[in-house]
Structure 1
């Protein structure tokens, strides 16, 4: 593991006032270069790039009905859907349900002396479920059919658990060969899934808050407001931004990233010769709790006052809607799904017809919840998945809409 002195020697620090470069650089393509046509939602933010956009799914565009609901504990991450199973991670349990019937398939609970572990959102590849735990258990690899533990990768020392979901390091037709995990001390591990040992580790400053990957490059955001680009265990660039990194996504073929900050707006950061410098800065951009939606040339972020749809090229606001949206949004095809304090609302991704807030035809439907939406919205196949916290004194319920 490199020392902090080595980090300084290998990673160039760029000031928050960096000047944006020429827009003549290659524009981004929102489609992941590892797109396999899936309608599943196999990890926290759909893909390793963190774009929360399921282009092949057919989520409900008309007023939905409820397929089923099931009681769950307070959610630790938004639902994940793969191969006919939906996984709900919570305080104390990771539970697998049948997508069609809602039948509980299996449940993992206490781990040794830890009777209420906090599970992250899982990441599913084939017959293996990878999930982080906020204790010394670290990362668990579970059998997707039975929930039985196959192996684990544990961290050492204090604050050794995981609170950031695992993300594949590289995705190919043969599946995942590596996984990016981070511990509570600020060390990033690229874990070889065959050897079950790290290919490399890298120490960042402070705790990791967000991770995204693309083509072997690992992008890391921290609680201290820094964004790192790492490759093969070496820092490519490092950028200090004005606040905790609350969302992070890689953009298409350009290698650029978008990052939201707590109180400092949204930044699009460049790559190549201008690596880490600002392409644009939306000063009034959303806090973007948890994740963006990157789709159709747009970057969508939500917070406790608005949902903002930014132009991916310029950073200008195309449209916005007022509301309390404190969880990550999702999108499928041409529809945007927002989870808030009154339930789920669907909008046309282009916002309909009009100018600024005066628009028509944008809102498609609203489905009320008893409480507010917890952890985020997931769209897979023809259905929408979200947890209703039930309100004061009521249990949380995973609801599936179609």
Structure 2
């Protein structure tokens, strides 16, 4: 971790170089085009709630089930309060009673950490062998050893409402319930700076050199951190931000009751490149995979073209969990099942398409919050109900 003056200088130089590259690429569609191929790496992790700091929920090289599944394990767990994270041979599950660590191989409970009486937990991030956990009660942020949950440091920044993101150069960022965006030293927890936004910060992404944050007040902010925050642009999107991801330098934003929008970077910063109502109110997050952006809600799972925003295909059902993508497959959850779709949507038009659905697997209750793909498997957590208590599933290829 970098905390010295030389580290700060290096950070400034890296960000300046990235800013120049971003300016050159401003207005381009990004690097998310092309036909995906099946992933082949069965050792991948899912270290952020949506795989990476850009919140793409897409692991392009990850091997994952394409034609059917078997259960590695399915165990009773607390109802999730956010997406699971998979790293360091653990499944990290946020719950109302704290952060729970399960053994990835067996499902055995390893440890639970939760400060205070009501430590409602956000999804953590696991970076460079440290679990950064955030809670909606004080102290807000804990840095933990993934092996046994031992506390390395804590930062009392008040109740935290977002999952953390890290920049890879010694900074960890979190958003607070009172509208603060806080930058921490990732090695010590010391506050480097804070910046006031309008509304509770619920979504946060990082792509060098900018942070993009979304709030419950329907505001989207882009900030540049060069050893201090500088606001680049701000946009109101008409409703609570429920999902946020990055594609190239642009931001993909879904607002409650509104549209899915691609907000431009560069010369037209914050303006709509496109807006599509079909993709609005994405529950649990988005997945941005090889030219398509996927989002689910009570009306179905929708795939939109990243370049132009047109609806490419959709699948019916009530999708309450954020989708996850790996290779050429998209994974989602609707009542009573985890389901895999071909990225392309199959062959044909609308309901006449063939080959869209690759497999489905029955689960107890409805998958909630979001799925993850790691270690060659799909991870899903259900909310329980008449079919039984909440459970966590790890599904291997059949």
CA separation in 1, counterparts of 2:128 and 2:151?
15
In 1, distance between residues paired with 2:117 and 2:191? 28
Between 369-378 and 305-314, the greater mean CA deviation after superposition: 369-378
**SS at the partner of 1:145?**
coil
**Equivalences for 1:223-238 in 2 at 5 Å?**
223-232=216-225, 233-238=229-234
Residue 50 of structure 2 aligns with which residue?
45
Q: Secondary structure at the match of 1:354?
A: coil
What runs of 5+ residues in structure 2 fail to find an aligned partner?
Answer: 1-24, 34-40
Q: Secondary structure at the match of 1:284?
A: helix
Which residue in 1 is equivalent to 2:143?
141
CA contact (8 A) 1:286 1:307 kept: no
Q: CA deviation at 1:55?
A: 1.2
Structure 1 stretches of 4+ moved >4 Å = none
SS at match of 2:353: strand
Q: What's the TM-score once normalised by structure 1's chain length?
A: 0.86
Richer in helix (by share): 2
Return the match for 1:245 from 236, 241, 251.
Answer: 241
Distance in 1, matches of 2:267 and 2:26, equals 13
Q: How big is the shift at 1:116?
A: 3.6
Once the two structures are superposed, residues 287-315 of structure 1 have per-residue CA deviations (whole angstroms, 9 ceiling, x without a partner) of: 11131100110011110111100000000
CA RMSD of aligned residues (A): 1.8
From 291, 295, 302, the counterpart of 1:301? 295
Q: Show the counterpart of 1:126.
A: 128
* Aligned equivalent of 2:191: 198
Q: Does 1:75 align with 2:77?
A: no
Residue equivalent to 2:279 = 285
After superposition, the C-alpha distances for 1:17-68 in whole angstroms (9 at most, x for unaligned) are xxxxxx993221139xxxxx87100011110001000112111112211111
Report if aligned partners of 1:73, 1:93 keep a CA contact under 8 Å in 2.
no
- Given that 2:242 and 2:254 are in contact with CA atoms closer than 8 Å, whether structure 1 keeps it comes out as yes
Shift of 1:393: 8.0
Quote the offset at 1:84 in angstroms: 1.5
CA distance in 2, matches of 1:391, 1:267: 34
After TM superposition, give the deviation of residue 205 of structure 1 in Å.
0.7
Q: For each residue in 1:237-268, what CA deviation from the matched residue of structure 2 results, as whole angstroms up to 9, or x when unmatched?
A: 0011121111111112xx11110111111111
2:13 equivalent in structure 1: none
Q: Which moved more, 1:312-321 or 1:146-155?
A: 146-155
Give, in angstroms, the shift of residue 394 of structure 1. 3.2
For the residues of structure 2 that align with 1:371 and 1:63, how far apart are their CA atoms?
Answer: 20
Cross-structure match for 1:219: 212
Equivalent pairs counted in the alignment come to 361
User: 1 CA distance for matches of 2:85 and 2:155?
Assistant: 21
Secondary structure of the structure 2 residue equivalent to 1:70: strand
In the TM superposition, what is the alpha-carbon distance from 1:395 to its structure 2 partner?
2.1
1:401 aligns with 2:365: no
- 2:18 is aligned to none
For 2:146 and 2:244, the matched residues in 1 are separated by 28
Q: Determine the C-alpha separation between the residues in 2 that align with 1:149 and 1:83.
A: 16
Cα shift readout 1:139-178 (whole Å, capped 9, x = no counterpart): 01111111011111112xxxx312311111x13xxxx511
Q: What is the TM-score with the length of structure 2 in the denominator?
A: 0.87
**Secondary structure of residue in 2 paired with 1:357:** helix
- Residue equivalent to 2:386: 392
Give the Cα separation in 2 of the matches to 1:333 and 1:215: 24
Gaps of 5+ in 1: 1-22, 32-36
Alignment of 1:2-401 (within 5 A): 25-30=27-32, 39-109=44-114, 111=115, 114-155=116-157, 160-168=158-166, 170-171=167-168, 177-232=170-225, 233-252=229-248, 255-392=249-386, 394-401=388-395
- In 2 relative to 1, CA 284–104 (structure 1 residues): closer, same or farther, beyond 3 Å? closer
